[in-house]
Protein backbone atom coordinates (compact mmCIF):
# COMPACT_ATOMS: atom_id res chain seq x y z
CA UNK A 1 0.00 0.00 0.00
CA UNK A 2 1.44 3.39 -0.99
CA UNK A 3 0.55 6.73 0.52
CA UNK A 4 -0.24 9.67 -1.71
CA UNK A 5 2.63 11.54 -0.12
CA UNK A 6 6.13 11.19 -1.60
CA UNK A 7 7.90 13.38 0.95
CA UNK A 8 6.82 14.16 4.46
CA UNK A 9 9.10 16.31 6.62
CA UNK A 10 8.22 17.37 10.14
CA UNK A 11 10.22 19.83 12.23
CA UNK A 12 13.30 19.51 10.02
CA UNK A 13 16.15 21.60 11.35
CA UNK A 14 19.63 21.88 9.85
CA UNK A 15 22.33 24.08 11.35
CA UNK A 16 25.75 24.94 9.88
CA UNK A 17 27.93 26.37 12.67
CA UNK A 18 25.82 29.34 13.75
CA UNK A 19 23.62 29.45 10.63
CA UNK A 20 20.17 27.90 10.88
CA UNK A 21 19.65 26.82 7.26
CA UNK A 22 16.35 25.02 7.99
CA UNK A 23 14.27 25.93 11.01
CA UNK A 24 11.55 23.41 12.00
CA UNK A 25 10.42 22.87 8.42
CA UNK A 26 7.13 21.02 7.90
CA UNK A 27 6.55 20.02 4.30
CA UNK A 28 4.53 17.48 2.32
CA UNK A 29 4.99 16.70 -1.35
CA UNK A 30 2.35 14.70 -3.19
CA UNK A 31 3.16 11.80 -5.49
CA UNK A 32 3.03 12.52 -9.19
CA UNK A 33 3.10 16.30 -8.68
CA UNK A 34 5.68 18.93 -9.57
CA UNK A 35 6.57 20.72 -6.35
CA UNK A 36 8.39 24.06 -6.59
CA UNK A 37 10.72 25.45 -3.93
CA UNK A 38 11.09 29.20 -3.97
CA UNK A 39 12.75 31.67 -1.63
CA UNK A 40 15.31 34.45 -1.49
CA UNK A 41 19.04 33.63 -1.69
CA UNK A 42 20.09 31.69 1.39
CA UNK A 43 16.51 30.67 2.23
CA UNK A 44 17.45 26.99 2.59
CA UNK A 45 16.23 25.55 -0.74
CA UNK A 46 19.46 23.75 -1.67
CA UNK A 47 19.85 22.48 1.88
CA UNK A 48 16.38 20.92 1.78
CA UNK A 49 16.99 19.39 -1.66
CA UNK A 50 20.31 18.00 -0.35
CA UNK A 51 18.46 16.24 2.47
CA UNK A 52 16.07 14.66 -0.04
CA UNK A 53 19.05 13.38 -2.04
CA UNK A 54 20.76 11.96 1.06
CA UNK A 55 23.73 14.33 0.71
CA UNK A 56 23.25 15.48 4.31
CA UNK A 57 21.10 14.53 7.28
CA UNK A 58 18.88 16.78 9.37
CA UNK A 59 19.94 17.69 12.90
CA UNK A 60 16.37 17.47 14.15
CA UNK A 61 12.97 16.37 12.88
CA UNK A 62 11.72 13.47 10.80
CA UNK A 63 11.84 12.91 7.07
CA UNK A 64 10.00 10.18 5.20
CA UNK A 65 10.68 9.63 1.51
CA UNK A 66 8.55 7.36 -0.67
CA UNK A 67 7.11 5.76 2.45
CA UNK A 68 10.45 5.02 4.15
CA UNK A 69 11.86 7.01 7.08
CA UNK A 70 15.27 8.48 6.28
CA UNK A 71 18.02 7.29 8.63
CA UNK A 72 21.34 8.84 9.63
CA UNK A 73 23.39 7.32 6.78
CA UNK A 74 24.50 9.54 3.90
CA UNK A 75 23.01 7.73 0.93
CA UNK A 76 20.46 8.53 -1.76
CA UNK A 77 17.15 7.01 -0.63
CA UNK A 78 15.81 4.27 -2.90
CA UNK A 79 14.01 5.65 -5.93
CA UNK A 80 15.50 9.15 -5.61
CA UNK A 81 17.90 10.91 -7.98
CA UNK A 82 18.79 14.41 -9.08
CA UNK A 83 21.38 17.09 -8.41
CA UNK A 84 22.12 20.19 -6.38
CA UNK A 85 24.65 22.90 -7.22
CA UNK A 86 24.71 21.83 -10.88
CA UNK A 87 25.19 18.35 -12.28
CA UNK A 88 28.57 16.65 -11.69
CA UNK A 89 30.01 15.78 -15.11
CA UNK A 90 33.39 14.80 -16.54
CA UNK A 91 34.27 17.51 -19.10
CA UNK A 92 36.83 15.37 -20.98
CA UNK A 93 34.32 12.59 -21.64
CA UNK A 94 31.54 12.67 -24.22
CA UNK A 95 27.90 12.97 -23.17
CA UNK A 96 27.37 9.27 -23.76
CA UNK A 97 30.60 8.29 -21.97
CA UNK A 98 29.47 10.32 -18.93
CA UNK A 99 26.21 8.39 -18.75
CA UNK A 100 27.88 5.05 -19.43
CA UNK A 101 30.35 5.71 -16.61
CA UNK A 102 27.42 6.36 -14.27
CA UNK A 103 25.68 3.18 -15.38
CA UNK A 104 28.85 1.19 -14.67
CA UNK A 105 28.82 2.55 -11.12
CA UNK A 106 25.29 1.23 -10.69
CA UNK A 107 25.17 -2.40 -11.77
CA UNK A 108 22.08 -2.88 -13.94
CA UNK A 109 19.04 -4.18 -12.15
CA UNK A 110 16.89 -4.15 -15.24
CA UNK A 111 15.24 -0.89 -14.17
CA UNK A 112 17.80 1.54 -15.55
CA UNK A 113 17.42 3.38 -18.85
CA UNK A 114 20.21 3.14 -21.42
CA UNK A 115 22.49 6.10 -22.08
CA UNK A 116 20.95 6.52 -25.54
CA UNK A 117 17.39 6.51 -24.18
CA UNK A 118 18.24 9.13 -21.56
CA UNK A 119 20.03 11.34 -24.10
CA UNK A 120 17.09 11.14 -26.51
CA UNK A 121 14.71 12.01 -23.67
CA UNK A 122 16.44 15.35 -23.08
CA UNK A 123 17.07 16.12 -26.77
CA UNK A 124 20.83 15.50 -26.70
CA UNK A 125 20.91 12.41 -28.94
CA UNK A 126 22.62 14.36 -31.73
CA UNK A 127 25.57 15.37 -29.49
CA UNK A 128 26.00 12.00 -27.76
CA UNK A 129 29.60 11.70 -28.97
CA UNK A 130 30.65 15.31 -28.30
CA UNK A 131 32.89 16.12 -25.36
CA UNK A 132 31.11 17.81 -22.47
CA UNK A 133 33.74 20.53 -22.14
CA UNK A 134 32.30 22.10 -25.31
CA UNK A 135 28.74 22.07 -23.91
CA UNK A 136 26.87 25.24 -23.00
CA UNK A 137 25.42 25.64 -19.49
CA UNK A 138 21.97 24.70 -20.80
CA UNK A 139 23.31 21.52 -22.47
CA UNK A 140 25.08 20.55 -19.22
CA UNK A 141 21.81 21.01 -17.33
CA UNK A 142 20.04 18.74 -19.81
CA UNK A 143 22.81 16.15 -19.56
CA UNK A 144 22.49 16.34 -15.76
CA UNK A 145 18.79 15.62 -16.12
CA UNK A 146 19.60 12.67 -18.42
CA UNK A 147 21.97 11.33 -15.76
CA UNK A 148 19.24 11.63 -13.12
CA UNK A 149 16.80 9.79 -15.38
CA UNK A 150 19.08 6.76 -15.83
CA UNK A 151 17.73 5.10 -12.69
CA UNK A 152 14.10 5.83 -13.57
CA UNK A 153 13.53 7.68 -10.27
CA UNK A 154 10.21 7.92 -8.46
CA UNK A 155 11.37 11.17 -6.85
CA UNK A 156 13.40 13.52 -9.03
CA UNK A 157 15.17 16.37 -7.21
CA UNK A 158 16.50 19.29 -9.26
CA UNK A 159 18.22 22.46 -8.06
CA UNK A 160 17.46 25.31 -10.48
CA UNK A 161 17.17 23.05 -13.55
CA UNK A 162 16.19 25.89 -15.86
CA UNK A 163 19.49 27.74 -15.28
CA UNK A 164 21.05 28.51 -18.64
CA UNK A 165 18.28 26.95 -20.71
CA UNK A 166 17.22 28.82 -23.84
CA UNK A 167 13.46 28.98 -24.57
CA UNK A 168 13.56 25.83 -26.74
CA UNK A 169 15.62 23.93 -24.15
CA UNK A 170 13.27 25.02 -21.39
CA UNK A 171 10.23 23.90 -23.34
CA UNK A 172 11.83 20.52 -23.93
CA UNK A 173 12.91 20.02 -20.30
CA UNK A 174 9.57 21.15 -18.92
CA UNK A 175 7.84 18.77 -21.32
CA UNK A 176 9.98 15.92 -19.93
CA UNK A 177 9.15 16.91 -16.34
CA UNK A 178 5.41 17.12 -17.09
CA UNK A 179 5.43 13.69 -18.72
CA UNK A 180 7.31 12.21 -15.75
CA UNK A 181 4.75 13.67 -13.34
CA UNK A 182 1.91 12.34 -15.49
CA UNK A 183 3.55 8.89 -15.15
CA UNK A 184 3.50 9.21 -11.35
CA UNK A 185 7.02 10.54 -10.72
CA UNK A 186 7.26 13.26 -8.08
CA UNK A 187 9.44 16.17 -9.20
CA UNK A 188 10.87 18.67 -6.71
CA UNK A 189 12.70 21.65 -8.12
CA UNK A 190 13.92 25.03 -7.00
CA UNK A 191 13.81 28.18 -9.07
CA UNK A 192 13.93 31.94 -8.80
CA UNK A 193 11.65 32.24 -11.85
CA UNK A 194 8.09 32.76 -10.64
CA UNK A 195 6.63 32.51 -14.14
CA UNK A 196 8.32 29.14 -14.66
CA UNK A 197 7.11 27.82 -11.33
CA UNK A 198 3.61 29.05 -11.98
CA UNK A 199 3.40 27.32 -15.35
CA UNK A 200 5.01 24.08 -14.16
CA UNK A 201 4.15 23.38 -10.53
CA UNK A 202 0.96 22.28 -8.85
CA UNK A 203 2.46 22.64 -5.37
CA UNK A 204 4.73 25.31 -3.93
CA UNK A 205 6.81 25.77 -0.82
CA UNK A 206 7.99 29.29 -0.04
CA UNK A 207 11.01 29.39 2.26
CA UNK A 208 12.54 32.45 3.91
CA UNK A 209 15.46 32.31 6.35
CA UNK A 210 15.00 28.57 6.69
CA UNK A 211 11.33 28.80 7.62
CA UNK A 212 8.26 27.71 5.67
CA UNK A 213 6.12 30.73 4.84
CA UNK A 214 3.70 28.71 2.71
CA UNK A 215 3.49 25.10 1.61
CA UNK A 216 0.61 23.66 -0.33
CA UNK A 217 -1.23 23.69 -3.64
CA UNK A 218 -0.45 26.58 -5.94
CA UNK A 219 -4.18 27.06 -6.43
CA UNK A 220 -4.55 27.88 -2.73
CA UNK A 221 -1.87 30.52 -2.93
CA UNK A 222 -3.35 32.09 -6.06
CA UNK A 223 -6.86 32.10 -4.63
CA UNK A 224 -5.84 33.93 -1.47
CA UNK A 225 -7.68 37.22 -1.71
CA UNK A 226 -4.67 39.51 -1.77
CA UNK A 227 -4.76 43.12 -2.94
CA UNK A 228 -2.99 43.19 -6.31
CA UNK A 229 -2.10 45.79 -8.92
CA UNK A 230 -3.84 45.31 -12.28
CA UNK A 231 -3.33 46.92 -15.68
CA UNK A 232 -6.69 47.99 -17.04
CA UNK A 233 -6.74 48.82 -20.76
CA UNK A 234 -9.96 50.40 -22.01
CA UNK A 235 -11.39 52.34 -24.91
CA UNK A 236 -11.57 55.52 -22.77
CA UNK A 237 -8.78 55.70 -20.17
CA UNK A 238 -9.77 59.11 -18.79
CA UNK A 239 -13.35 58.04 -18.10
CA UNK A 240 -12.17 54.63 -16.79
CA UNK A 241 -9.78 56.37 -14.39
CA UNK A 242 -12.65 58.51 -13.08
CA UNK A 243 -14.85 55.43 -12.56
CA UNK A 244 -11.98 53.62 -10.79
CA UNK A 245 -11.36 56.57 -8.48
CA UNK A 246 -15.01 56.48 -7.35
CA UNK A 247 -15.21 52.69 -6.86
CA UNK A 248 -14.97 51.59 -3.20
CA UNK A 249 -11.95 49.37 -2.52
CA UNK A 250 -10.13 50.48 -5.69
CA UNK A 251 -7.08 52.74 -5.69
CA UNK A 252 -5.74 54.27 -8.90
CA UNK A 253 -1.95 53.85 -8.80
CA UNK A 254 -0.47 56.97 -10.30
CA UNK A 255 2.84 58.74 -10.66
CA UNK A 256 6.15 57.29 -9.48
CA UNK A 257 4.32 54.69 -7.36
CA UNK A 258 2.82 53.09 -10.45
CA UNK A 259 4.57 49.79 -11.19
CA UNK A 260 3.93 50.35 -14.88
CA UNK A 261 3.84 53.82 -16.36
CA UNK A 262 0.12 54.52 -16.73
CA UNK A 263 0.51 56.10 -20.14
CA UNK A 264 -1.51 55.48 -23.26
CA UNK A 265 -4.77 53.65 -22.70
CA UNK A 266 -3.71 51.89 -19.47
CA UNK A 267 -4.82 52.68 -15.93
CA UNK A 268 -3.13 50.80 -13.07
CA UNK A 269 -5.50 50.00 -10.21
CA UNK A 270 -4.92 48.31 -6.84
CA UNK A 271 -7.80 46.17 -5.54
CA UNK A 272 -8.98 42.86 -4.15
CA UNK A 273 -11.01 40.65 -6.48
CA UNK A 274 -14.46 41.71 -5.20
CA UNK A 275 -13.71 45.42 -5.70
CA UNK A 276 -12.24 44.65 -9.13
CA UNK A 277 -15.49 42.90 -10.13
CA UNK A 278 -17.43 46.00 -9.13
CA UNK A 279 -15.06 48.19 -11.11
CA UNK A 280 -15.41 46.12 -14.30
CA UNK A 281 -19.22 46.16 -14.02
CA UNK A 282 -19.20 49.96 -13.53
CA UNK A 283 -16.81 50.55 -16.43
CA UNK A 284 -18.97 48.47 -18.77
CA UNK A 285 -22.17 50.22 -17.55
CA UNK A 286 -20.48 53.52 -18.45
CA UNK A 287 -20.18 52.26 -22.07
CA UNK A 288 -16.40 51.90 -21.83
CA UNK A 289 -14.96 48.80 -23.50
CA UNK A 290 -12.56 46.70 -21.39
CA UNK A 291 -9.75 45.51 -23.66
CA UNK A 292 -7.38 43.97 -21.11
CA UNK A 293 -7.26 43.35 -17.37
CA UNK A 294 -4.13 41.59 -16.07
CA UNK A 295 -2.21 41.52 -12.80
CA UNK A 296 1.00 43.59 -12.97
CA UNK A 297 2.78 40.76 -11.13
CA UNK A 298 1.55 37.16 -10.99
CA UNK A 299 -0.37 35.96 -7.91
CA UNK A 300 2.62 33.74 -6.99
CA UNK A 301 5.04 36.64 -7.21
CA UNK A 302 2.70 38.87 -5.18
CA UNK A 303 2.36 36.17 -2.50
CA UNK A 304 6.10 35.57 -2.53
CA UNK A 305 6.85 39.27 -2.06
CA UNK A 306 4.24 39.64 0.68
CA UNK A 307 5.29 36.51 2.58
CA UNK A 308 9.05 36.97 2.33
CA UNK A 309 8.89 40.70 3.01
CA UNK A 310 6.96 40.20 6.26
CA UNK A 311 9.69 37.77 7.33
CA UNK A 312 11.91 40.82 7.79
CA UNK A 313 9.46 42.58 10.08
CA UNK A 314 8.30 39.86 12.42
CA UNK A 315 6.48 42.30 14.68
CA UNK A 316 4.13 43.55 11.98
CA UNK A 317 0.53 42.42 11.76
CA UNK A 318 1.28 41.13 8.27
CA UNK A 319 3.81 38.72 9.75
CA UNK A 320 1.05 37.17 11.79
CA UNK A 321 -1.05 36.85 8.62
CA UNK A 322 1.88 35.13 6.90
CA UNK A 323 2.26 32.74 9.80
CA UNK A 324 -1.46 31.99 9.70
CA UNK A 325 -1.18 31.23 5.99
CA UNK A 326 1.75 28.88 6.59
CA UNK A 327 -0.07 27.15 9.41
CA UNK A 328 -3.29 26.87 7.41
CA UNK A 329 -1.43 25.44 4.44
CA UNK A 330 0.45 22.96 6.58
CA UNK A 331 -2.74 21.87 8.28
CA UNK A 332 -4.23 21.26 4.85
CA UNK A 333 -1.20 19.11 4.06
CA UNK A 334 -1.90 16.75 6.91
CA UNK A 335 -5.10 15.63 5.21
CA UNK A 336 -3.33 12.83 3.41
CA UNK A 337 -5.03 10.17 1.45
CA UNK A 338 -3.94 6.59 1.23
CA UNK A 339 -4.04 4.93 -2.17
CA UNK A 340 -3.41 1.38 -3.26
Candidates 21, 177, 180, 206: give the one binding ligand ATP (CB under 6 A): 21
Candidates 8, 31, 35, 45: give the one binding ligand ATP (CB under 6 A): 45
Contact 1, 338 (CB under 8 A): yes
Region binding ligand ATP by CB under 6 A among candidate stretches 39-47, 68-76, 123-131, 308-316: 39-47
Compute the distance between CA of residue 185 and CA of residue 188 in angstroms, rounded to an integer.
Answer: 10
In the complex, what is the shortest distance from the CB of residue 17 to ligand ATP, in angstroms, rounded to a whole number? 6
- Ordered DSSP codes for 14-51: EEETTEEEEEEEEEEEETT-EEEEE-STTSSHHHHHHH
197 binds ligand ATP (CB under 6 A): no
In the complex, what is the shortest distance from the CB of residue 220 to ligand ATP, in angstroms, rounded to a whole number? 22
43 binds ligand ATP (CB under 6 A): yes
In the complex, what is the shortest distance from the CB of residue 12 to ligand ATP, in angstroms, rounded to a whole number? 12
191 binds ligand ATP (CB under 6 A): no
Convert residues 1-20 into a mask of x (bound to ligand ATP by CB under 6 A) and - (unbound): ---------------x--x-
46 binds ligand ATP (CB under 6 A): yes
Compute the distance between CA of residue 89 and CA of residue 131 in angstroms, rounded to an integer.
Answer: 11
Q: Which is nearer to ligand ATP, 23 or 229 (CB)?
A: 23
44 binds ligand ATP (CB under 6 A): yes
Please give the angle made by the CA atoms of 8, 14 and 15, to the nearest 5 degrees. 170
142 binds ligand ATP (CB under 6 A): no
DSSP-based three-state secondary structure for 57: coil
Q: Which is nearer to ligand ATP, 49 or 221 (CB)?
A: 49
Total residues contacting ligand ATP by CB under 6 A comes to 11
47 binds ligand ATP (CB under 6 A): yes
Q: How far apart are the first and last CA of the chain?
A: 5
In the complex, what is the shortest distance from the CB of residue 211 to ligand ATP, in angstroms, rounded to a whole number? 11
In the complex, what is the shortest distance from the CB of residue 215 to ligand ATP, in angstroms, rounded to a whole number? 15
39 binds ligand ATP (CB under 6 A): yes
What one-character DSSP code corresponds to residue 102? Answer: H
Phi, psi of 235 (to 5 degrees): -80, -15
36 binds ligand ATP (CB under 6 A): no
The total of other beta-carbon atoms located within 10 Å of residue 138's CB is 18
Q: Residue 200: enclosing H or E segment and its boundaries?
A: helix 194-200
Compute the distance between CA of residue 230 and CA of residue 233 in angstroms, rounded to an integer.
Answer: 10
- Ordered DSSP codes for 203-268: EEEEEETTEEEEEEEHHHHHHS---EEEEEEES-HHHHHHHHHHSTT-EE--GGG-SS---TTEEE
In the complex, what is the shortest distance from the CB of residue 311 to ligand ATP, in angstroms, rounded to a whole number? 13
42 binds ligand ATP (CB under 6 A): yes
Q: How far is CA 272 from the centre of its chain?
A: 25
Region binding ligand ATP by CB under 6 A among candidate stretches 4-12, 38-46, 112-120, 123-131: 38-46
Q: Which is nearer to ligand ATP, 45 or 154 (CB)?
A: 45
163 binds ligand ATP (CB under 6 A): no
Using alpha carbons, list the distances in angstroms from residue 199 to 21, 27, 194, 223. Answer: 28, 21, 9, 16
Could you list the residues that contact ligand ATP (CB under 6 A)?
A: 16, 19, 21, 39, 41-47
Amino acid sequence: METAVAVRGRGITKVFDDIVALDHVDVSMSRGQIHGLVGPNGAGKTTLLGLLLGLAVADKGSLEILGTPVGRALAAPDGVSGFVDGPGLYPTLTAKQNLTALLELRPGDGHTATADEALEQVGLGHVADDKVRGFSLGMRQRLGLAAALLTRPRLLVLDEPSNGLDPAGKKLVYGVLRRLAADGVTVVLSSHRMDDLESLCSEITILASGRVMFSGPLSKLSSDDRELDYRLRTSDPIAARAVAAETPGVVVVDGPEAPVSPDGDIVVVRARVAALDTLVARVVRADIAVRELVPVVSPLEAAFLALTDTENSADSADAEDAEDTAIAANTANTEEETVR
